[in-house]
Amino acid sequence: MLNPMPRVHRAMVAAPHYIASAVGSAVLHDGGNAFDASVAVSAVLSVVAPHMTGIGGDAFFLAYDAKTGSCVGYNGSGRSGMQASADRYLHAGLEKIPHRGVESAITVPGMVDAWWNVWTRYGRLPWERLIEPAVRYAEEGFPVSRNLREWIAKDRELIAADPGLRKVYLPGGRLPREGERLVHPELAATLRAVMEGGRSAFYEGPVMSAVTSAIEADGGLLTPDDFRMHAGEWVNPIRVTYRGCEVCQMPPNSQGFSVLMMLNMIETLDLSVYNRLSAEYFHLMVEVVKLAFRERDAFLTDPDFRPIPLDRLLSKEYAAKLMRSIRIHPPQAGQFRSQPTGSDTAYAAVVDEEGNAVSFIQSLYFDFGSAWTAGATGIILQNRGSFFSLDERSPNRLEPRKRTFHTLMPGMVLRGGKPYLLAGAQGGEGQPQTALAILTGVIDYGLTIQEAICLPRWVYGRTWGEDSDALRLESRCGAAIADTLRRWGHRVELVGRYDGVVGTAQGIMIEDGVISGAADPRGDGSVVGW
């Protein structure tokens, strides 16, 4: 039985790990604001959810500043190193960038820079107060969660191959028990250096030196100059209107515009005629997803390298044109083959008493990222750069100092100019699809945030890097719906009742002064509010 959805009036934290939610709550109670709490939550997630995120990865923040009434974003994604190029891999006889190992770790981690910039612009508490919980949990240990143990078991062979991972996550060569205390003294020392030295410790000081020395020793590409040159950036969110709401997303290199395209398309229809748990609903959603992904894959890249026609892609006219190509009467599945993407991500949201709201997401890309630890730092570097293409025709072709096509996309919906819904999810291809499920659930079907997150979900595509391009439905949808969709041309696979393959989501909803929130029962998250 699911816990009742918390409803409060003052503040709330929703995070994918219960320790992170508790840490964010403590920061707010100590006088911090939503920005302080988001940094603290992000930092502790880098310790307690190492299969999903870490300081060797990236982070995106989408924030509403109550003082100015404005919504802003921080793109904390790293660029490829100066030595990284498609020719470098092609000349080595490779057809694609390796998914694991030091050769997959070719983009500078952007997370610490994102923490620092969010804090310096909006934070209230001392920097040390925000990073200290992460240091403490790495140093003193934390209980292994259900989800973490499952991923350690799944990746046991991969973890065993790296000395740094093996030492921490396979203590004594065995799988840790759920609830067993895991300590990570090397990561604790690294986080302490960041706590004491700030951003510069990571990008210019002792942490940078240790990481790049390890990379050089193992034949990797990132250099000290790549770290010194790193800079994330403040950006203006992109947005569309949807049934009286304003839906905000991060601009490219994020894939956030894909869900905005989906909403534009379905706004041309009256969804109330489709039962939320019907074959017709799932068919419509999947066909909209295919069209948006086709456009996304044709254009998404680092906008500093190639223009992206967002005005056209996000226009209502273009959405209506795309919708005319969908076979609804009679239903017929369209053809599209998605790109395989990583999916391991941690999304959280915070709302404070002053009306500030932060929707943020972070990742190592694949589970345990590159599966390569940088020397004795305890840092697992992300393999985000492995998604670059070596094809000269691709907009996402690998070039030096380039940001890759990025799956991270925190979401925020405004109503009357103020935050109404903060939501996001784990899963590469799954993120925009889960966002679509949650947004239609709340806005079109009048569900609570918990009902929208808990309803049976789907995921289309190769979101876990697999070769399968099927439509996966949670078994709660029922065999009859699956059979109907198969008759309409979909390749359907039924998965578990609450299956992690569809990702895990968190959300906060603010309506008539009441704040409600939900953490996905598919994960280890929780909601704290008061």
Active site members:
345
Torsion of CA 463, 469, 475, 476, to 10 degrees: 70
Residues 6+ apart with CB under 8 A from 375: 164, 210, 211, 213, 214, 217
Cα 34 to the center of its chain, rounded Å: 19
Cα gap 392→522, rounded to integer Å: 40
Record the tokens describing residue 508, joined without a space. Answer: 């906060």
Angle at Cα 392 formed by Cα 390 and Cα 397, nearest 5°? Answer: 50
Whether 283 and 327 have beta carbons less than 8 Å apart is answered as: no
Whether 527 and 12 have beta carbons less than 8 Å apart is answered as: yes
Residue whose tokens read 């790296």: 162
> What is the helix, strand, coil percentage profile of the chain, to 5?
40, 20, 40
Q: Please tell me whether residue 497 adopts helix, strand or coil conformation.
A: coil
Closest to 352 in 3D by CA, of 224, 223, 510 = 510
* Cβ neighbour number for residue 231 with a 10 Å cutoff: 12
Record the tokens describing residue 325, joined without a space. Answer: 């190509």
Cα gap 396→301, rounded to integer Å: 5
- Three-class HEC string of 404-453: CCECCCCEEEEECCEEEEEEEECCCCHHHHHHHHHHHHHHHCCCCHHHHH
Please report the DSSP string for 381-394 in residue order: PP-GGGGSB--TT-
* Cβ neighbour number for residue 195 with a 10 Å cutoff: 19
Closest to 118 in 3D by CA, of 40, 23, 16, 49 = 40
